[in-house]
Structures are given as C-alpha cells and as structure tokens.
Amino acid sequence: MADIKTYMYLIGSHIKVVRNSRHVSQETLAHTVGISRAYMGFIEQGRNMPRVEVLINISEALNVTLSQLVDYNWTPAECDIEYQSDKVLYNER
C-alpha cells in the first residue's frame, strides 16, 4: 500500500491532467473554486491535500464526478465522450 504522499502526488497530477483536458488555466480553476492559484499549484504538485469540499468544488468546476477526479486510472478522454453533449463552459475547443 502506498503512503499518503504518493496518493497526494497521484491525485494532484490527475487533477492537472483533467484540468488540461478541459483547456482550463490553473488560475481560472483556482478562481472558480475560491482558492489561490498558488494553493491550486501545491495541490497539483502533491504538496497539499485539499479538504473534501475543495475536491468537490474542483470536480464540479471541471464537470466530472468526485470519484473520476480522484481516480488516477480514469482518463479524461472518457470524460470528453461522456460529457460531449453537456457543452462544458470551461472547454474552449
């Protein structure tokens, strides 16, 4: 079983992957969620583990479920297919 620092890194990295798949800047996501850009950066780097309410806000802002957001085996491509008809505001493709 991995330690907490490994999970923090994996979850943070996955948040970044999902954010980038949505073409959302770190600053825009941080503003939408109500946290600083620096704190968002620390989350993505695995340096901070956000509270559950912050994870929920991130998942809602990126239009994914909380379980998808923290499941580093789930790929954003699945999300693009699943939410294709939802016209995600953050997806500027």
pLDDT in tens, 21-75: 899 999 999 999 999 999 999 999 999 999 999 999 999 999 999 998 888 777 7
Instruction: Give the ranges where 1-93 is alpha helix by DSSP (H).
Output: 4-21, 26-33, 37-44, 52-61, 66-70, 76-82
Q: How far is CA 36 from CA 19, 55, 78, 85, in A?
A: 16, 14, 29, 31
Give this prediction's pTM. 0.78
